[in-house]
């Protein structure tokens, strides 16, 4: 099992670079950031772009993997995103992971002036988006016409440092998304039950994830893949569980999900006066000691 972190893009780089370097010093497997234009309680607060932040982080670090958690079609197009990803993969020396999802219904969903998409359209767009992005990152030139996204002689030379392309970690809980994870993913991402912490008691949270993994395995079997080929990533912070309150709480939480088959845990870097407020000293102890105590 690996331990990673999410660093929100809320810091001016004079301060933010220290956080990303500290994540590497603490030994995290990866440091991700959210790919939003604004987000929830931070909507009126400083919030910087994911791609420039990750580019700067790539230049400021040497070993830690970097990525989005997650990018979505809400305000991105596969052609321009592919160019950004190839550049990021190059700057980081092949340390990039693309977390990608269908996107939510709020915040960024209508920022470009479009009407909010129905669930059916969102799923259809996501499938087309992922398929075209996969083509763009594998081939030097792509022409493809879709219902929602097209490319006309889109050039992506020299391509990704990682072969055949940067890994996709597909965030999904529904059947269509899980099928995309099985078809295109090198990893799968969940944050637990989409209903949220108010409706899912702590004791039920692991069972929800176990059920999702069973459905992922079925989707993989339909594609002729072994579900063991995929990294299974759990993003902390959207359930009633509180694994960052102490090292012991983390060890219990991590052990539970390791038994279910989760291979990577992602915890939020503490942010004072927010839903991600946690004791930084405890957080750093979890980073350096937590997994070792699993035995």
Q: Which residues of 50-86 are buried (b: 16+ CB within 10 A; e: fewer)?
A: bbebbbbbbeebeebbbbbbbbbbbbbebbebbebbb
Parallel, antiparallel, or unpaired for β 96-100 and 141-144?
unpaired
- In whole angstroms, give the CA distance from residue 31 to residue 196: 24
Residue 150 near residue 188 (C-beta atoms within 8 A) = no
- In whole angstroms, give the CA distance from residue 145 to residue 142: 10
**Helix or strand (DSSP H, E) at 219:** helix 205-222
CB atoms under 10 Å from CB of 158, counted, come to: 8
Quick one: pLDDT at residue 65?
98
Domain 2-294: which CATH number of 1.20.140.10, 3.90.1010.10, 3.30.70.20, 3.20.20.30: 3.20.20.30
- Beta-bridge partner residues of 170: 100, 188
pTM across the whole model = 0.96
- In whole angstroms, give the CA distance from residue 105 to residue 108: 8
Quick one: pLDDT at residue 262?
98
pLDDT tens-digit series, residues 26-65: 999 999 999 999 988 899 999 999 999 999 999 999 999 9
Residues of the chain with confidence (pLDDT) below 50 = none
Quick one: pLDDT at residue 106?
75
Quick one: pLDDT at residue 198?
78
Quick one: pLDDT at residue 196?
81
Residue 57 near residue 31 (C-beta atoms within 8 A) = yes
Domain range list for the chain: 2-294
Residue 87 near residue 96 (C-beta atoms within 8 A) = no
Quick one: pLDDT at residue 197?
80
Structure tokens belonging to residue 167: 């890994």
**CB under 8 Å, gap of 24 or more: what pairs does 21-28 form?**
21/60, 21/61, 23/61, 23/64, 23/269, 24/61, 24/62, 24/63, 24/64, 26/284, 26/287, 26/288, 27/287, 27/288, 28/3, 28/4, 28/64, 28/287
Quick one: pLDDT at residue 114?
87
């Amino acid at each position: 099992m690996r331990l990673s972190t999410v660093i929100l893009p809320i810091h001016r780089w004079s301060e933010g670079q220290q956080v990303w370097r500290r994540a590497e010093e603490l030994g995290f497997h990866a440091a991700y950031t959210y790919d939003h234009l604004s987000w929830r309680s931070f909507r009126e607060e400083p919030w910087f772009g994911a791609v420039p932040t990750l580019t700067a982080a790539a230049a400021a670090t040497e070993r830690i993997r970097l990525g989005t958690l997650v990018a979505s079609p809400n305000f991105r197009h596969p052609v321009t995103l592919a160019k950004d990803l190839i550049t990021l993969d190059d700057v980081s020396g092949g340390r990039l992971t693309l977390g990608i999802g269908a996107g939510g219904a709020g915040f960024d969903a209508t920022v470009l002036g479009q009407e909010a998409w129905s669930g059916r359209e969102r799923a259809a767009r996501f499938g087309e988006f992922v398929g075209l992005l996969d083509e763009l990152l594998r081939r030097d030139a792509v022409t493809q016409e879709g219902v929602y996204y097209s490319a006309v002689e889109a050039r992506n030379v020299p391509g990704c440092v990682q072969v055949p392309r940067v890994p996709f970690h597909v965030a999904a809980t529904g059947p269509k998304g899980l099928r995309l994870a099985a078809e295109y993913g090198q990893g799968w991402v969940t944050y637990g039950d989409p209903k949220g912490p108010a409706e899912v008691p702590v004791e039920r949270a692991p069972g929800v994830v176990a059920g999702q993994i069973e459905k992922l395995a079925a989707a993989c079997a339909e594609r002729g893949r072994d579900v063991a080929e995929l990294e299974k990533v759990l993003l902390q912070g959207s359930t009633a569980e509180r694994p960052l309150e102490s090292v012991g709480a983390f060890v219990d939480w991590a052990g539970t999900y390791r038994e279910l088959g989760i291979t990577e845990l992602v915890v939020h870097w503490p942010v004072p006066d927010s839903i991600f407020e946690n004791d930084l000293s405890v957080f750093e102890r979890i980073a350096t000691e937590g997994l070792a105590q699993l035995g």
